[in-house]
Structure 1
Amino acid sequence: MIHKIRARLMAAALLLSVSGAVQADTFVFTAIPDQDESRLMTRFGQVADYLAAELGVEVRYIPVKSYAAAVTAFRNNEVQLAWFGGFSGVQAQRLVPGSRAIAQGVEDPQFLSYLIVHASTGIEPGDDFPMALRGKRFTFGSRSSTSGRLMPEYFMREATGETPQRFFSRVGFSGDHSATIALVQSGAWDAGVVNYKVWEQELREGRIDENVVRKVWVTPPYPDYHWVIRGDVDERFGEDFARRVQAALIGITDETLLAAFPRQGFIPASNDDYQPIIDTARALDLLD
């Protein structure tokens, strides 16, 4: 009986060892949850299939519930690659020595945010930040969002000379861009700020009624989204692996994959491209 028990334990240990080996050979990535989770699963599931074919390894996408969770997963080596916004990418790079930005969308060096308002405010589009928003209810996206909080807040402070908490009657955080659009459109908030790509995509998909919610101001451009990879992937997956991942991302030409982001394509990126994000985050006391 004792021999049988030992044999079963040894078999179980071997099975766990094999399972662990399979898991260790899986290249895992995530992305900041800037839109509805079901959309992200479809979008990044397709990316996982593409990368697996290009890299010749098992690739898996795992969703996360927040921007902070994406950074934590990257720091803890639960994922080796992540699609970050400018600020979350900078946070990840600082937490994981040797990690680096390897690719960004063609549009990402000159990214924009849209200020949107409910029609009941009576505010019309203009080139300048609408000071008529003083005293209104305003929502950002995620607290760690570059396009939904960091850069718009910086530009709003420049325009008003005040913090959002002093300028508006109430300030909230919706969690993601899709939620911001829905909340302003419903009238739950008078105004909000969103990633211009998400706004334009939802407009094309018929999710926005411009008679109810409208874009009234556009921020100056700034660098934003990018792919960040850990510095130890070559040791784990083989020599030159990081370069191969970069080449695979830049090599995406499938219109379905690109439209899901949406991006025209991907181009090389480096950590230095995001120094403006570091400078802005420090100016807002969001980064040491």
Structure 2
Amino acid sequence: MKLTGFILAGVLSLFSTVAISETFTFTAIPDEDESQLRTRFDKVAVYLSEQLGVEVKYVPVKSYSAAVTAFRNNQVQLAWFGGLSGVQARRLVPGSEAIAQGFEDQFFKSYIIAHHSTELAASDSFPLLNDYTFTFGSKDSTSGRLMPQYFIESSVGQSVDKIFKRIGFSGDHSRTISQVEAGVYQVGAVNYKVWDTAVEKGEVDTSKVSVIWQSPTYPDYQWTVHSGVDTVYGAGFKDKLTKTLIGMKDKDLLDSFPRESFVPASNSDYEPIERVAKAIGMLD
């Protein structure tokens, strides 16, 4: 009886060791230049590994849809999603949860920016944009496509393909700024955080491109965790992960997002995003 108990304890210990040795992986939507993302999230991986006691690895992806696919296929167990990509991922993985968001993500916003040649001036009222060329960011971006399209169509009363002379998708916010600054497109939609940070760093020639309108606020980025992590990484792992993300206090880490802090989030916080995506035909 004692031998059986000893063997059982050894087996349980082995399973526990195997579970803990599993690498915990995460990804993020590629909303900025890839080198900036790798610098940011490699540092986050080190922080999570130290706090969680497991090996943590950041897995870069090439597109928003690739981030959702990696999450769906359990190639990553955690993702820094935008509002829309998070909704898409959680619909594909029952039981997955939004667990933390940036403080600023509770009231995020988009900017409409314009090349100086348009002579469009900043205004609180929505600008007349008919017959300009226009670029969104990624096709699946919340701040660079979904919400700007919704606000534009709601304000003008027409679909974007009838408003603009030509529509493009730059792929990310940094490229949107570059393309409008260069005059490749006359007007564009961009994440306000990316714009503000680029301006602060002197990376934008504001004599060539400027903000002409800012949107109402909406919920955006969040950390979403896969269902079943407690089974693989041990009981209470999801709660520990949540506390670790919310407990991120290192200014260097927070500045790289950039966020003031992280706060709790839930799936219900993103119901407005899901409703808008359905309203403009981006979700069934």
The bucket for the TM-score relative to the shorter chain is over 0.9
Per the alignment, do residues 96 and 48 of structure 1 end up closer, same or farther by CA in structure 2, a change over 3 Å counting?
same
Q: Which letter maps to 1:53?
A: E
- Partners in 2 of 1:141 and 1:22 — Cα distance? 39
Q: Does residue 1:176 correspond to 2:193, yes or no?
A: no
Structure-2 residue corresponding to 1:106: 103
Q: Is the 8 A contact 2:21 2:54 kept in 1?
A: no
Amino acid at match of 1:51: L
- Amino acid of the structure 1 residue aligned with 2:33: D
* Counterpart-to-counterpart distance in 2, 1:241 and 1:91: 24
Paired residue secondary structure (1:181): helix
Do 2:20 and 2:54's aligned partners in 1 also have CA atoms closer than 8 Å?
Answer: no
1:37 paired with 2:34, answer: yes
Q: Which residue of 2 aligns with 1:56?
A: 53
Q: What are the Cα deviations for residues 193-223 of structure 1, in whole angstroms up to 9, with x where unaligned?
A: 0000000010111110111000000011000
**Which residue identity does 2:257 align to in structure 1?**
F
The answer to whether the 8 A contact 2:148-2:215 is kept is yes
Structure 1 residue runs without a partner (length 5+): 1-20
Written as runs of structure 1 = structure 2, the 5 A alignment for 1:146-185 is 146-185=142-181
**Counterpart pick for 2:274 among 272, 278, 281:** 278
CA distance in 1: counterparts of 2:213 and 2:141, whole angstroms:
18
Aligned residue number for residue 139 of structure 1: 135
Cα distance in 1 for partners of 2:102, 2:139 equals: 23
In structure 2, the partner of 1:83 is 80
CA distances 1:209-239 after superposition (whole Å, capped 9, x unpaired):
1110000000110000000001110000000
Q: What is the SS of the residue equivalent to 2:205? A: coil
Q: Return the alpha-carbon distance in structure 2 between the equivalents of residues 247 and 166 of structure 1.
A: 47
2:195 matched to 1:188?
no
Equivalent of residue 120 in structure 1, options 114, 117, 121: 117
What is the TM-score of this pair, normalised by structure 2?
0.93
Identify which of 225, 232, 235 aligns with 2:228: 232
1:140–1:24 Cα change, 3 Å = farther
Could you list the runs of 4 or more consecutive aligned residues of structure 1 that deviate by over 3 angstroms after TM superposition? Answer: 21-24
How far the C-alpha of 1:114 sits from its partner, in A, is: 0.3
| Contact 2:110–2:215 (CA under 8 A) maintained in structure 1 | yes
CA distance in 1, matches of 2:168, 2:21: 40
1:258 deviation in Å?
Answer: 0.3
Is residue 26 from structure 1 mapped to residue 43 from structure 2 by the alignment?
A: no
Query: How far apart, in 2, do the equivalents of 1:284 and 1:159 lie?
Result: 14
Q: How far apart are 1:109 and its partner, in Å? A: 1.0
Q: Please give the root-mean-square deviation of Cα atoms over the aligned residues, in Å.
A: 1.1
Aligned counterpart, 1:3: none
Cα deviation for residue 24 of structure 1 reads: 6.9
Aligned match of 1:46: 43
Question: Cα offset for 1:23?
Answer: 11
Structure 2: gaps spanning 5 or more residues? 1-17
- State the TM-score, normalizing by the size of structure 1: 0.91
Please tell me whether the aligned partners of residues 61 and 67 of structure 2 are also in contact (alpha carbons under 8 angstroms): yes
1:68 aligns with 2:59: no
- TM-superposed CA distance for 1:279, in Å, is 0.4
2:13 matched to which residue of 1? none
Measured in 1, the distance between the counterparts of 2:252 and 2:107 equals: 23
- Please point out which of 245, 256, 261 is paired with 2:257: 261
Cα distance in 2 for partners of 1:24, 1:247 equals 21
Whole-Å Cα distance in 1 between the matches of residues 281 and 145 of structure 2? 13
